Amino acid sequence: MASNAELWSRRQAAVVRGVGHATPVFAAKALNSEVWDVEGRRYVDFAGGIAVLNTGHRHPRIMQAVRDQLDRFTHTCFQVLPYDSYVELAERLNALAPLNGPAKSMLLTTGAEATENAVKIARAATGRSAVIAFTGGFHGRTAFASAMTGKVVPYKKGLGPPLPGVWHVPFPVAGSEVTVDDALRYIAFIFKADIDASQVAAIIIEPVQGEGGFHQAPPELMRGLRRICDENGIVLIADEVQTGFGRTGKMFAMEHYDVQPDLICVAKSLAGGFPLSGVIGRAAIMDAAEPGGLGGTYAGHPLACAAALAVLDVFEHEGLLARANAIGERVRTAVNRFALANHLLPISMARGPGAMIAFDILKQRGGSEPDPEATARVTRLAYESGLVLLSCGTTANTIRILVPLTASDAIVDEGLAILETCLVA
């Protein structure tokens, strides 16, 4: 088998420059929370394919469900010949989602498809077109999804003007100069200066910003958005592509709030590594689009549906919500200990609900100035030391930990020990 260096050289020649990489390491096999590269080196996985593998790599129950589906059929297109697994998954998602009253679902393939289709549904339901999103939010890389994304570099730079119809509101990050009142007041300014509220179809928000740095939306913000939407006939969309399916210690991050959205976008860990996404929402809103207006050739693929049904079984039978909280507490305790250690780089205390944990690397202890250079160095040292680790954040100085919820305490502790060595000043 070719080496990492050989494969990297081939990748450089064959694959576009615009597809970035967290590491130059090529995977050969994986199991649960461990990965081996093409040279046989083992890594502890604290990335989980960017929050896709909450049930770990190749969970036996999920693999068996996919094998069983392979023996039946691999594709018919749900719009041509429907199949029972799509319907069953929709039924289970409708029952799980934090929505009062009848709910319906549609299945897709990617997170960006989910956010874009949620907007299409909101537009069909309201007869309006505009969307309000937040700075630091990430909603995908397709044309309209990237327009909703509240970060220029690298998602918009050099790629032409974004599609019109999106207005961004400052997100109230704890400790920043932006408060919840500021954010809500900014929406009022938009309604006065840019577009009448009667032309806004949707407000979209991540309950915990993913690429933006794992900042959780304050409860007062969610209540304020719900009020604004109710007063003005606007659809509230919760983008749970990264938070969904147990990462925050609840099946949906919106369960941490005392208000509900109208639509919920899901993807990533929904199908345990197989490409699947969806929109779950209030039936009256979901049914607004005409037949044929929604769907896709591969949307709700049979293999992914089989995997997703198994994922939901694993969550139930293995108690992964409780496990998420236990892992989160273990990681949070370690990170907070690192933050108090004078021999390590200056970092913030841990933040994030459940097992969606992050911390910032800073220029000075007790300060707030970001250190993106040190952050890049830490992630490089990590993979060189056998740990797959990701950064994020609007200033590229946030370390995020997305270890599978099926990881053992021993594996979590091993990864944290490696992380500690990489943080040595």
Domain borders along the chain are 4-58+319-422, 73-317
- What is the four-CA torsion angle of 229, 230, 231, 237, rounded to 10 degrees? 10
CB atoms within 10 A of CB 231: 9
Name the CATH code of domain 4-58+319-422 (choices 3.30.70.260, 3.40.50.1970, 3.90.226.10, 3.90.1150.10).
Answer: 3.90.1150.10
Q: Is the pTM of this model over 0.85?
A: yes
How far apart CA 69 and CA 152 sit, in angstroms, is 41
**Which residues of 92-129 form beta strands (DSSP E)?**
103-108
Bridge partners, 392 (sequence order): 398
Q: The domain 73-317: what is its CATH number?
A: 3.40.640.10
How far apart CA 91 and CA 75 sit, in angstroms, is 21
pLDDT of residue 47: 98
Write the pLDDT tens digit of every residue in 300-323: 999 999 999 999 999 999 999 999
Write the pLDDT tens digit of every residue in 116-170: 999 999 999 999 999 999 999 999 999 999 999 998 888 888 888 788 899 999 9
- Cis bond leading into 60, ω under 30°? no
Give the rounded distance of the alpha carbon of 365 from its chain centre.
30
How far apart CA 387 and CA 12 sit, in angstroms, is 24
Number of residues that this document lists for the chain: 425
Structure tokens at 27: 């995977």
Can you list the residues of the chain whose pLDDT is less than 70? none
How far apart CA 422 and CA 425 sit, in angstroms, is 8
Beta pairing, strands 263-266 & 277-282: antiparallel
Q: Kindly write down the DSSP assignment for every residue of 241-310, as one continuous string.
A: TTTTTTTTSSSSGGGGSSS--SEEEE-GGGGTTS--EEEEEEHHHHTTSPTTSS--TTTT-HHHHHHHHH
CB atoms within 10 A of CB 143: 13
- Do residues 5 and 42 make contact, with C-beta atoms less than 8 angstroms apart? no
pLDDT of residue 156: 82
Q: Is 130 helix (H, G, I), strand (E, B) or coil?
A: strand
